[in-house]
Structure 1
Amino acid sequence: MATTRMLGSTLLLILLSTVVSELCNPQDKKVLLQIKKDLNNPYLLASWNPSTDCCKWYTVTCDPKTHRINSLTIFSSVPDTNFSAQIPPSVGLLPYLETLEFHKLPKLTGPLQPAIAKLTNLKFLRISWTNLSGPVPTFLARLTNLTFLDLSFNNLTGPIPEALSQLSNLDALHLDRNHLTGSIPPSFGSFKSNPDIFLSHNNLSGPIPASLGNLNLTQVDLSRNKLVGDASALFGLNKTVQIVDLSRNELSFNLSNVEFPASLTSLDLNHNKVYGKLPVGLTALNLQYLNVSYNRLCGEIPMGGELQSFDVYSYLHNKCLCGSPLPSCTSSSL
């Protein structure tokens, strides 16, 4: 009899310890299990076992004080044959999320779910390297706590919403490697946080808005689009920009009088229609990368700084550019 009571007490203690160790909020756990079901129970979520504490599940983290789910990062380095689904609308039922990531999931399809707009505590949103389609939705502008927005390497189409400039805390915007069309919104010049802007490998057209000159960007990549006109507003002695990639567009402006900030370390203008001369001011910069090939530049490459440290391929195929590392200038080439 005593042995039976002892066994019963032991089982009770085991059950109680299991309950005590379950830190995950029951509603959050229910939502996560629904997300797993909606994603067709992929192998990469195998740790999502209903009998275990969801705060210990792979790809999930909980707030150490409230134990509410604050991060959901679902990604895979190997294609998952069972992972063929859309983003579950149920992700909008995790109100304490600060980080949401779906990354390298080639069978994730469909549009961005409007339910994401409910996640007003989000700071980090990455949905990249998927087969996500449809437009970049305007409702993203409601996520005013976002500091990082990455929708790169998808199949998104249509224009870039002007409303994204309302994201006043944004540090980085990645919309590169999609099929976006239309122009860069002039409203981007009103970003309050000077985010790094990556819009490369799209089908954007029209001019670079002069309003971008209002910003003090650190990095900007607008390469491989169909942009035209003047890009000089991105530069200036008072700027702090470090990396600028405008390559493979149809930009046409006079480089001769452009003033570059001392912070600039990388400049790529290749395959455009930029004309004029290389400014002497470039010699004062600590450039680590420079490519002005395939343009319409003329005159002698200024001596000094890092300009002679780059090989001929940084300067080839210009109208009449000459001087080291290109062949020496002659009277006919100046």
Structure 2
Amino acid sequence: MGFNKFSLPAVAVIMMINAMLLSQGCLEEERIALLQIKTSFGDHPNDNSSPPFSWGKDALCCSWYGVTCSNSTTRRVIEIDLSNSRYWSLEDLYLNASIFLPFQELNVLDLSGNGIAGCVANEGFERLSRLTKLEVLSLGDNFLNNSILSSFKGFLSLKHLYLDNNGFQDSINMKGT
């Protein structure tokens, strides 16, 4: 069976389309994790354009609002900005921090302003210490209290931890943590 004169141009077009899709796509496991994050944040009745509610309308997850991927050929997710993504009048959010573990190259995670009151049992912020490239974690403007502070002991790569405007009592001594 031989190629006709239209086969080679068609193959070239298909290869170009694949290259364009890969340039805006992330790994399948990361795309699936982003969609799980979308589900865990619930519905936002007023704004379907903010992350993560606009996610999933196309397969090009590196072009999704609030998602930044590396420019290398790996196209790994390096930043997730979910700040103020959740509708405040919903009940408090108890986060399953394990949903962020597929993002092995993640440098920045912004969860500020989402009504997070804590984490699901055995799935707390200490799980994020497995993300060895995580340098910035923003948890400001939530409903967190002193009970989460012990979760941050194992973070070796973390350079900036933002906890402003939460429900902390008294002063916080971070020595030895």
Residue 48 of structure 1 is matched in structure 2 by: 55
Q: CA deviation at 1:58?
A: 0.6
In structure 2, do the counterparts of structure 1 residues 146 and 78 end up closer, same or farther at CA, with 3 Å as the change threshold? closer
Report SS of the residue matched to 1:114.
helix
Say whether residues 1:113 and 2:125 are aligned partners: yes
2:89 & 2:163 partners in 1: Cα distance? 23
What SS does the corresponding residue of 1:122 show, helix, strand or coil? Answer: coil
Q: CA offset at residue 132 of structure 1?
A: 2.5
Q: How many residues align?
A: 156
Q: Classify the secondary structure of the residue corresponding to 2:31.
A: helix
1:137-156 map, 5 Å: 137-155=149-167
Q: Which secondary structure does the structure 2 equivalent of 1:86 belong to?
A: strand
TM-score (norm: length of structure 2): 0.71
The CA RMSD measured in Å over matched residues stands at 3.1
Q: Is the 8 A contact 1:39 1:86 kept in 2?
A: no
Give the direction of change, closer, same or farther, for the CA distance of 1:180–1:17 in structure 2 (3 Å limit). farther
Q: Which residue of structure 2 aligns with residue 19 of structure 1? A: 18
- 2:119 paired with 1:92: no
Cα separation, partners in 2 of 1:118 and 1:109, compared to 1, 3 Å: same
TM-score normalised to the size of structure 1?
A: 0.40
Aligned residue identity for 1:123: E
SS in 1 for 2:141: strand
Q: 1:87 to 1:78 in 2, by over 3 A?
A: closer
Give the aligned residue type for 1:29.
Answer: R
- Of Structure 1 and Structure 2, the greater helix share is in 2
Do the aligned partners of residues 135 and 30 (structure 1) sit closer, same or farther apart at CA in structure 2, a change above 3 Å counting? same
Q: Distance in 1 between matches of 2:88 and 2:14?
A: 36
1:61 aligns with 2:60: no
SS in 2 for 1:145: coil
Task: State how far apart, in whole Å, the 2-side matches of 1:37 and 1:15 are.
Answer: 33
**Residue 128, structure 1, aligned to residue 140, structure 2:** yes
Aligned residues of 1:24 and 1:53 also touching (Cα < 8 A): yes
Looking at CA atoms only, which structure, 1 or 2, has the larger radius of gyration?
1
Match of 2:81 among 70, 73, 77: 73
Higher RCO structure (Cα 8 Å, ≥6 apart): 2
Q: Could you tell me which runs of 5 or more consecutive residues in structure 2 were left unpaired when the two chains were aligned.
A: 1-5
**Which whole-Å CA distance do the structure 1 matches of 2:146 and 2:162 have between them?**
15
Q: Is there any run of 5+ residues in structure 1 with no aligned partner, and where?
A: 1-5, 156-177, 192-334
Q: Is the alpha carbon distance of 1:97 and 1:41 closer, same or farther for their aligned partners in structure 2, counting shifts above 3 Å? A: farther
